[in-house]
Amino acid sequence: MTINNKAFNLIFVLFSLILIAILIYGDARHDYALYILTWKAFLNGDSYIPYNTYGPLHLVLSYLFQLHYLLPKVMFGIFFLYLNYFIFKNILGKNEKKLVIFFFLTIPCNFLIISIVFFYGIIDSIVSFFLIFSIIYKLRRNYYLSSLFLVIATLIKIYPILFLPFLILEKERINIKILVTTILTIIFALSIFSIFYGIDTIFEPFIFGGSREAKFASIIASLKIDLNNNYLILILEKYNFFVVVISLFCIFLYCFYKKTNWLISIILSYLIILITYKVGHLQFYIGLVVISGFLLSLDKKYFEVYKILFPLIFLLSLCQLGYSLTGGYDLSNNSSFPWRMVRDKIGYIFFLINTVTFLKLLAISKKF
């Protein structure tokens, strides 16, 4: 079915303007307010930088913050809108109305995106930008740029480096160019940052991240509450890093020996992280949502992968909408809705849907 490109372009522009208005109206709250505390401490030269769970490039954003407190947030939004436009333009080129509608449902109209990316201005939006372009340049066989974008994503929020083993998969071999370029670039960048800003800026995020308690939408968080701090659950929480890494290693071995498509492998690894990590904050899903939307711009065979991911995408949008409307962000817990109970149990729901999505994707991965 042919589509009216002008009409959809107009709709996209209108949505973008609305999202920019939401970004400005959202001001500085929630995680973004914590970023400000981090940036202020860094600029003041404090020995302890609070809430620093990010890579060193996050601290560099403090210089933008100096110019205007919302400037980093605006930058996140602009980068994300450009990413949206890039994907949207490629989907329009396919001239299929169905794909355009699914794109709007997945990204611009997804309440997770509207809320997390634009209203709250959480940094995972710009991480997803660099992660997606790392994938795009891998598809274009520009391995050096693919490495560079993955390194930038990692220097902002560490976890993208976990996708490196899957990005380097090439059916019957390992992509040495991406592997070596990424490792050397990260070593060089971290050396520069440690010289100018001190070695603590490199290691503090790892210490903070490892010491975090299990939280919202995590199976470990829900079990910890229901089993009243059971010893085994506390062990899983304390050594969660090793649980995640061992799980990823097992999936890597499977994908390598089964010669699984590298893009499918990245999605599988993303799901494994979400299943096993002790902190289940919904912003961690932003990258997966964007990858899902990006699949619509690729070969038709990837639409089958998208259909498997769509129920999870829908749940994320619904959950974020409910979370916001029922006082989920009311830290004083004065909401009339029993959000505390939902919050405590929702880890089971996400564990179930993430696991089902993973198994379904694993089952069809042989087709690729």
pLDDT tens digit sequence for 122-134: 999 999 999 999 9
Instruction: Note every long-range contact of 307-315, with CB atoms under 8 Å and residues 24 or more positions apart, other chains counting.
Output: 308/357, 308/360, 308/361, 308/364, 309/267, 309/357, 309/361, 310/102, 310/106, 311/353, 311/357, 312/285, 312/288, 312/353, 312/354, 312/357, 313/105, 313/106, 313/110, 313/289, 315/349, 315/350, 315/353
Whole-number average pLDDT of the chain: 90
Decide if 131 contacts 163 (C-beta within 8 A): yes
Amino acid identity for residue 333 in this structure: N
* β-bridge partners, 174: 169
Q: Is the pLDDT of residue 135 over 60?
A: yes
pTM for the complete prediction? 0.93
| 289-348 residue pLDDT tens | 999 999 999 999 999 999 999 999 999 999 898 877 766 555 455 555 566 777 778 899
Q: Is the pLDDT of residue 42 over 60?
A: yes
**For residues 281 and 328, what is the distance between their CA atoms, to the nearest angstrom?**
12
| 197-215 residue pLDDT tens | 878 777 777 777 777 888 8
Q: Is the pLDDT of residue 59 over 80?
A: yes
Mean pLDDT of 9-27: 91
**For residues 145 and 125, what is the distance between their CA atoms, to the nearest angstrom?**
20
Decide if 331 contacts 244 (C-beta within 8 A): no
Q: List the structure tokens of 91.
A: 């989907």
Q: Is the pLDDT of residue 76 over 60?
A: yes
**For residues 265 and 169, what is the distance between their CA atoms, to the nearest angstrom?**
8
Would you place residue 254 in the very low, low, confident or very high pLDDT band (cuts 50, 70, 90)?
A: very high
Nearest 10 degrees: CA dihedral of 90, 107, 352, 333? Answer: 160
Identify the pLDDT of residue 213: 85
Q: Is the pLDDT of residue 166 over 70?
A: yes
Instruction: Give residue 315's Cα distance to chain centre.
Output: 16
Decide if 1 contacts 96 (C-beta within 8 A): yes
Mean pLDDT of 30-51: 86
Identify the pLDDT of residue 134: 97
Instruction: Note every long-range contact of 19-25, with CB atoms under 8 Å and residues 24 or more positions apart, other chains counting.
Output: 19/77, 19/81, 19/108, 19/114, 19/117, 19/118, 20/77, 20/81, 20/118, 22/114, 22/118, 22/119, 23/73, 23/74, 23/77, 23/118, 23/119, 23/121, 24/70, 25/119
Would you place residue 95 in the very low, low, confident or very high pLDDT band (cuts 50, 70, 90)?
A: confident
Which positions ≥6 away from 312 have C-beta within 8 Å? Answer: 285, 288, 353, 354, 357
Residue extents of the structural domains in the chain: 5-367
Mean pLDDT of 80-104: 92
Q: List the structure tokens of 159.
A: 């976890």
The one-character DSSP state at 213 is P
Decide if 150 contacts 163 (C-beta within 8 A): yes
Identify the pLDDT of residue 339: 67
Instruction: State the chain's maximal CA–CA distance in angstroms.
Output: 61
Nearest CA-CA partner of 199 in 46, 56, 40, 36: 56
Instruction: Give residue 200's Cα distance to chain centre.
Output: 25
